[in-house]
Amino acid sequence: MRTTVGWRAEPSNGTATTPTLRRAPLERRDLRPDDLAVRVDYCGVCHTDLHALRAGGGTDGGPAQPDPLVPGHEFTGVVTATGSEVTRFRTGDPVAVGNIVDSCGVCAMCRVGQENFCHAFPTLTYGGTDRVDGSTTLGGYSREYVVGERFAYSLPAALDPAAAAPLLCAGITVWEPLRALGAGPGTRVAVAGLGGLGHLAVKFAVALGADTSVISRSPDKAEDARRLGARELVVSTDPERMAAARDRFDILIDTVSAPHDLGAYLRLVALDGTLSHLGHLGPVTLETLDLLIGRKKLSSAGSGGRKGTAEMLAFCAAHGITADIELLPSARVNEALDRLDRGDVRHRFVLDLSDLDRSGPQGPTDG
């Protein structure tokens, strides 16, 4: 086994609070022939990490997570070692890894490049089950990750490695539905929720040429929305502005992290348009008349396949797109999670893991 160090949560014991992450030594597998060892430099803090940390006690609606848990599923770094059969990477190459690290490779979904929908279930970057040895995967809030080369992506030199990290979960999750639904010139796109996923959805939709708007509870986000390239902010708490935006959007990307009824957003979708519900995973409520009137469609998506992820990275390099981030030393991970929970983030926290080199696994910055 290889040893590294990371930020680990102990069982949440069913409390509603987020368990504290503590610095701990971790084991990584010895390299298989197709594996890369990656020095993790930057890892984004996704809202799913918060959901996962709380799921241990079933307090956040999600499935129970195996304990202990090391979150983190959007990271960038550098290859430090390669297995004997690796062909696509060499030591020193900059790479990016997202929220899937393996899939069966032979099912119908894998064959069309949608490994994220693998019939055998893709191996998640943390809290997943390794397909070879059955161990539970530990995520990217750590200094090293071992990954099969199929699920590592070349990080384009044009992209800042810290600001690019969130592309690997937040980015690809909104990229695939925007592409699949045909966002581009002549389409009207609205994005609900202006967090990690939402702000990247706005940047992508604008760069694809769509007429893009933001839907938010508060008018405070108007300047932010404009800066990101959106034409308008629809304030969801203002009934008059919601009524005025009725049937307006061909594609509505819903990234809201809390459970909510879909009616208010469906009424903003245009004739034959689509609501892509990406944020809160789990049961939803809606009135079917809100679909019937206007022949509207309800869709969803999550993560991305290898082909789509590589295409998204190339698009980002060509258009200069990365996330707007607040970079913190990884020792401040608990503060980042707390602020994310309170919505105090513009628009993504990214952890700089290099501080894990500076003191021992039980060093003074513990917790």
Ligand X SMILES: NC(=O)c1ccc[n+]([C@@H]2O[C@H](COP(=O)([O-])OP(=O)(O)OC[C@H]3O[C@@H](n4cnc5c(N)ncnc54)[C@H](O)[C@@H]3O)[C@@H](O)[C@H]2O)c1
Q: Which residues bind ligand X (CB under 6 A)?
A: 46-48, 51, 169-170, 173, 193-198, 217, 255-258, 260, 278-280, 302-303, 340, 343
Are 145 and 40 contacting, i.e. CB atoms less than 8 angstroms apart?
Answer: yes
Query: Which of Zn ion, ligand X, none sits in contact with 107, Cβ below 5 to 8 A by type?
Result: Zn ion
To Zn ion, the closest distance from the beta carbon of 119 in angstroms equals 5
Question: Letter for the amino acid at 297?
Answer: K
Q: Which is nearer to ligand X, 5 or 194 (CB)?
A: 194
Is residue 103 involved in binding Zn ion (CB under 5 A)? yes
Q: Which is nearer to ligand X, 36 or 256 (CB)?
A: 256
Query: Which of ligand X, Zn ion, none sits in contact with 193, Cβ below 5 to 8 A by type?
Result: ligand X
Element (H, E) at 49: helix 47-55
Distance, CA of 314 to CA of 55 (rounded, Å): 35
Query: Which of Zn ion, ligand X, none sits in contact with 103, Cβ below 5 to 8 A by type?
Result: Zn ion
Residue 34 CB neighbour total at 10 angstroms? 16
Select from 61-69, 101-109, 154-162, 183-191 the region that touches Zn ion (CB under 5 A).
101-109
C-alpha separations of 207 from 6, 146, 307 in Å? 36, 34, 20
Is residue 169 involved in binding Zn ion (CB under 5 A)? yes
To Zn ion, the closest distance from the beta carbon of 321 in angstroms equals 18
C-alpha separations of 295 from 253, 290, 291 in Å? 17, 9, 6
Bond before 277 cis per omega within 30 degrees: no
To ligand X, the closest distance from the beta carbon of 99 in angstroms equals 7
C-alpha separations of 222 from 217, 232, 294, 327 in Å? 11, 7, 28, 24
Q: Which is nearer to ligand X, 157 or 258 (CB)?
A: 258
**CB-based burial label for 64 (10 Å; 0-12, 13-18, 19+):** exposed
Query: Which of ligand X, Zn ion, none sits in contact with 321, Cβ below 5 to 8 A by type?
Result: none
Q: Which is nearer to Zn ion, 48 or 82 (CB)?
A: 48
Is residue 104 involved in binding Zn ion (CB under 5 A)? yes
Distance, CA of 251 to CA of 273 (rounded, Å): 6
Q: Which is nearer to ligand X, 26 or 43 (CB)?
A: 43
- Rg of the chain over Cα atoms, rounded to whole angstroms, equals 20
Q: Which is nearer to ligand X, 7 or 349 (CB)?
A: 349
Select the residue whose beta carbon is closest to ligand X and give its number: 195
Q: Binding pattern to Zn ion, positions 35-74, x when CB under 5 A?
A: -----------x-x--------------------------
Three-state secondary structure of 247-267: CCEEEEEECCCCCCCCHHHHC
Select from 112-120, 213-221, 246-254, 258-266 the region that touches Zn ion (CB under 5 A).
112-120
Angle, helices 47-55 vs 333-341, to 10°: value is 100
Member of 36, 118, 230, 270 binding Zn ion (CB under 5 A): 118
Q: Which is nearer to Zn ion, 100 or 252 (CB)?
A: 100
Query: Which of Zn ion, ligand X, none sits in contact with 256, Cβ below 5 to 8 A by type?
Result: ligand X
Residues that bind Zn ion (CB under 5 A): 46, 48, 103-104, 107, 110, 118, 169
